[in-house]
Structure 1
Amino acid sequence: MSTGDDVSAHGGEPPDMSESEHLLPTNGAELVPAKDCDANAGHCSREDSGRGAGEDDFSRSTGMGVFTSSGIIMVAIVFTLTMPYALAQTGLLGGVMFLVLGPLLMLYMNVTLGKCWVILMETWPQKYSQRRVRRPFPEIGKEAAGRSWEIAVRMSLAFTNMGTGVVMLLVAASLSQVLVPERFSDRAWASFWGAILLVPICAGNMMDSWLLRYLGAPSTLLSSFGLLAALVMSRLSTENTVHGHGHGAPFLSPTNSTLLYSSVNVSMLSEHSRTEPEMAGGTTVSFSSDPHLLVNRVGHAPITFGSFWLGTSTIIFAFASASQVVTIQHDMSKPSRLPHALAIAYVTAILLCLATGVLGVETFGTLSNPNILLNVQCQQSHAIQIVAKATAVAQIIFNLFGALAGLIIFTQEAEEVLDLPLTKINFRHILVRISSLLVALGIGLAVPAFNKYASLIGSSTMTMNHFLFPPFFYYRLMAATGRPLHRAEIAVFLIVFGFGIMCGLAGTYSAAHSLISEKHANPC
């Protein structure tokens, strides 16, 4: 998310070359490897280096290391709050399998995307390795398949960033209910946090500010481990109650699947539970008329087609990072070490999400709320409630930074489309930024259900960014530069591509149908 000057793929006229040299492209449609390195043209061949794509480290004296890079990637992909809900939607076994397989495939595709960037740095070192590039991902699409694919990537990233802003703004609103239960609606909280974000969005880019660096990463870790601690305490409290050693905690009976909360206001949980008549897998919920006794009767119906793909799309949303990966790689001191940073970040995130998701489902079953802290908040233990509130504060900070980052990147893209100057802010910049925030807020207020938008974005643009674009671009770049591509690699790419198409079509249909049928669609 660098804000440096744009770098065009090919500046100026191509230089004259001798007949023995191969001319590298000027239109991005087809690449032919050069025999020698031409400093003036910025073209450099790796034909005799003995290294494959992604193996040249392009080391710099300055830049981020592996652990710093992995920490930034963690900020982008850790979204543990919805994991119990996602696993409840897919079924525990299917959800756990997808929670491992899906992110590992995304990790592999991010590594592939990094290799694409290294190919660009090898081919045009003066343009891509020695200068700051504002939009590396679209540049990869341009060099691999032409201008139309650059536009496709830019549009996909724009919708992704706007959707991320909407989701995280609504998550912050939902988390506010944990701090101040029943005082204000989700719409009121979303409007409040939107007004708070108005000032930093109008002020400009905060991606490099000390606030994002020194509060974004700590809030991510605190919120993740705080949520895990709250779920562990809830699980222990439940087990104690089942064995008759505690009072006032939720009681989960394995024989009649009845979840009982004592001294809980019915309206609090029912308002923030899923708005569909059925819960995950067709589970129905009934409430007692006693405001101090909430009884949810859980029927464990089979997981439906729609619920499964809604859950998998939520998982994809939680681990999406393609729009940041190449930018992070570009800023690393050794770009070839991106796979190490990705492995650390993804393995850590998978473990955190597995622990959070399994604990949440085992404790609250199919009643797991998209905001699992609303379930935890129903516990009568003061210690659990304190941990839940502290976790909610850290989660709110994390999600506000995420919403701010997504909206700022979206506004930068809009400003560039409108040909506004990058170095000086005027009233037109302010108008674009306020308009972008109002659009995001309007979308969120229309249907204040962040899980619906997360599933829609995860199954559509994020699926394209992770499962469709990287293998296609890598194949084009490798073939065009004359680099060998093994059959096994091609087979893996075809499997990933097919997996992405399946997730995209099924998930987008299920998410769109769920969003359209949302019962709270009237913002008034």
Structure 2
Amino acid sequence: MKKMVEVEDKLIKEDGLGLLTATFFLAGTMAGSGVLALPMAMVGTGPAELAMLVFFAATSAFVGIKLGQCWVILEERYPEYRGQVRDPYPSIAEKAAGKIGRFAAITCINLCLYGAGCVFIVLIASFIKNIFDEYNLELNFGIWMVIVAAVMIPPCWLGTPNDFWPLAIGALITTVVACVLVMVRLPMDVVDPDHCLKEIPDLNTTLIGEHSTPNFLGIARAFSTTMFAFAGAPNFPTIQSDMKDRRQFSICVSIAMGVLLCIYAPMAAVGYFELGDAVKGNIVDSMCNGNVKIAVECLLLAHLISAFPIVVNPPNQFIEGVLGIPKNFTWKRVVFRSFVIVGLLFIAESLPDFGSILDLVGGSTVTLLTFVFPPFFYMRLVDMSNQSSDWEQRKASIDDCSPLLNHKITISLKERLFCWFVITVGIVGGVCSTGVAVYSIADSNFKMPCYIETCR
């Protein structure tokens, strides 16, 4: 008993993120680019998208809690993980599934978060271009992406989430205000669609209010888009490891998912029921031009700029560890992270289609990192408790252990069955949505790279 008390005391740091700040980090990191595509996702599924959002929110909370409990188990069993760790998610994967698990986690995290960074560059450039176009200051879209990448390089030099916690608060607040403005303004725009038609030439007003029948392609696209909206799992261990008391992470992730659901569901419903099949891949593009649209774009711009350094931080920290770059601020970190942004810029210039990048990232790596890996790693670590008498033995009856707020870190038969259900849904849905995303990218309507054809 005395030994366990000593271990628990070591799980609490003197400094670090508090419960509220960590919750802001979780919600602020996830609430952003994904919410803009949810109305379009609802076109492919119909009202069933609302049920899908509830399912994903609950399931993401579940797997987030399991992932957090995996980290607590690691800190209990291995003292080397109680300090600052650059690669918490891959460390969980290695202890649960060996070198193969670590390699799979590293590959998916890098593809997922760097892919999200590419999406952010495209969106930031798009919003800036729209704002300046309002004032007749037109500039090539590809050039705007270059400017965005150059501006985002210095903030990415910051070390860990604990160094830029104000950005997380700003990211969440700006997103909430922007979504409220969209939901208030969009019904007003629909009242006068002809006015919007003059401002948005490719807006098909005949489709406003029309709802097509859901089909397989639409459902698969909606799956990957919705998964991307809850794509926070790769950042979870990084944020948790910076908390004062890492055992409180389950509370943070539960609150964060509830906040996201309160944002996502109304946004998807308003866009779908007001515009129907006329809604665009980015809901902001469906708004009439004017001061409100500019305000929304500025707020979302602030969110994306705030969230960008948080999103690309985990893979940066891991690769720096592999390359032997010191944890303290040095010129090596500056060079490496600047080089990363240049690489993301090249990818963004090559694939300037927001929806296609989002679907590909959401359907493949996000599915594995959010649906498949956390419950599998959790079961493995719990089952390994009998390998050492010094480790806490984790057993449970069939009736205990809530699938959500389970502080004892034990696993029951019901919870184990739910873990396998989540894994199955993730694999099947991920394969389908990834195939659809690849098909969309290969489609003839996909945009040419900006350095081959001028992006206007």
Which of residues 76, 85, 88 is equivalent to 1:136?
88
Q: Is the 8 A contact 1:69 1:328 kept in 2?
A: yes
Q: Is the 8 A contact 1:74 1:345 kept in 2?
A: yes
Which of residues 108, 120, 133 is equivalent to 1:168?
120
Q: Is the 8 A contact 1:175 1:371 kept in 2?
A: no
Output aligned runs, 1:23-102, within 5 Å. Answer: 58-79=11-32, 80-91=35-46, 93-102=47-56
> RMSD between aligned alpha carbons?
2.8
Q: Is the 8 A contact 2:17 2:242 kept in 1?
A: yes
Q: CA deviation at 1:174?
A: 2.0
Which of residues 380, 388, 391 is equivalent to 2:293?
388
Q: Is the 8 A contact 1:226 1:387 kept in 2?
A: no
The residue type paired with residue 432 of structure 2 is A
Q: Is the 8 A contact 2:66 2:378 kept in 1?
A: yes
Partner Cα separation in structure 1 for residue 311 and residue 415 of structure 2: 33
Q: Match for residue 447 of structure 2?
A: 520
Give a deviation string over 1:441-463, Cα, whole Å, max 9, x none. Answer: 12111221122111111111111
Q: CA deviation at 1:345?
A: 0.9
Q: Match for residue 359 of structure 2?
A: 455
Structure 1: tracts of 5 or more residues without a match:
1-35, 38-43, 50-54, 242-248, 251-259, 274-284, 286-293, 379-384
Which of residues 111, 136, 142 is equivalent to 1:187?
142
Partner Cα separation in structure 2 for residue 472 and residue 350 of structure 1: 25
Q: Match for residue 18 of structure 1?
A: none
Q: Is the 8 A contact 1:164 1:402 kept in 2?
A: no
Q: CA deviation at 1:424?
A: 6.0
Q: Match for residue 435 of structure 2?
A: 509
Partner Cα separation in structure 2 for residue 262 and residue 60 of structure 1: 55
Q: Would the alpha carbon gap of residues 388 and 265 (structure 1) be closer, same or farther in structure 2, given more than 3 Å must change?
A: closer
Q: Would the alpha carbon gap of residues 88 and 174 (structure 1) be closer, same or farther in structure 2, given more than 3 Å must change?
A: farther
Q: Would the alpha carbon gap of residues 57 and 319 (structure 1) be closer, same or farther in structure 2, given more than 3 Å must change?
A: farther
Q: CA deviation at 1:412?
A: 3.6
Which moved further from structure 2: 414-423 or 495-504? Answer: 414-423
Q: Would the alpha carbon gap of residues 424 and 337 (structure 1) be closer, same or farther in structure 2, given more than 3 Å must change?
A: closer
Higher relative contact order (CA 8 A, sep 6+): 2
Q: Match for residue 331 of structure 1?
A: 242
Q: Would the alpha carbon gap of residues 230 and 423 (structure 1) be closer, same or farther in structure 2, given more than 3 Å must change?
A: closer
Is 1:497 aligned with 2:423? yes
Q: CA deviation at 1:497?
A: 0.7
Give a deviation string over 1:398-436, Cα, whole Å, max 9, x none. Answer: 11233333344434433333344444634x655543432
Q: Match for residue 184 of structure 2?
A: 232
Is 1:415 aligned with 2:370? no
Is 1:476 aligned with 2:380? yes
Q: Is the 8 A contact 2:37 2:282 kept in 1?
A: yes
Q: Is the 8 A contact 1:223 1:392 kept in 2?
A: no
Give a deviation string over 1:261-293, Cα, whole Å, max 9, x none. Answer: 4562455xx3xx7xxxxxxxxxxx5xxxxxxxx
Q: Match for residue 330 of structure 2?
A: 425
Identity of aligned residues (%): 23
Which of residues 116, 124, 130 is equivalent to 1:178?
130
Q: CA deviation at 1:359?
A: 0.9
TM-score by length of 1: 0.74
Give a deviation string over 1:122-164, Cα, whole Å, max 9, x none. Answer: 222x3233x2222211111111121221122112111112101
Q: CA deviation at 1:177?
A: 3.9
Q: Following superposition, which runs of at least 4 residues in structure 1 exceed 6 angstroms of deviation?
A: none
Q: Is the 8 A contact 2:29 2:172 kept in 1?
A: no
Q: Match for residue 152 of structure 2?
A: 197
Q: Is the 8 A contact 1:89 1:366 kept in 2?
A: no
Q: Match for residue 6 of structure 1?
A: none
Q: Would the alpha carbon gap of residues 69 and 102 (structure 1) be closer, same or farther in structure 2, given more than 3 Å must change?
A: same
Partner Cα separation in structure 2 for residue 476 and residue 263 of structure 1: 56
Q: Is the 8 A contact 1:116 1:140 kept in 2?
A: yes
Q: Would the alpha carbon gap of residues 217 and 522 (structure 1) be closer, same or farther in structure 2, given more than 3 Å must change?
A: same
Q: Is the 8 A contact 1:169 1:400 kept in 2?
A: no
Partner Cα separation in structure 1 for residue 245 and residue 324 of structure 2: 34
Q: Match for residue 373 of structure 1?
A: 284
Partner Cα separation in structure 1 for residue 30 and residue 351 of structure 2: 24
Partner Cα separation in structure 1 for residue 333 and residue 239 of structure 2: 26
Structure 2: tracts of 5 or more residues without a match:
387-393, 396-410
Secondary structure of the residue aligned to 1:164 is helix
Q: CA deviation at 1:303?
A: 2.2
Give a deviation string over 1:182-221, Cα, whole Å, max 9, x none. Answer: 72343332222112223444x4547444xx4334422431
Partner Cα separation in structure 2 for residue 56 and residue 469 of structure 1: 29
Q: Match for residue 70 of structure 2?
A: 116
Which of residues 330, 342, 346 is equivalent to 2:253?
342
Q: Would the alpha carbon gap of residues 415 and 509 (structure 1) be closer, same or farther in structure 2, given more than 3 Å must change?
A: same
Partner Cα separation in structure 1 for residue 215 and residue 176 of structure 2: 29
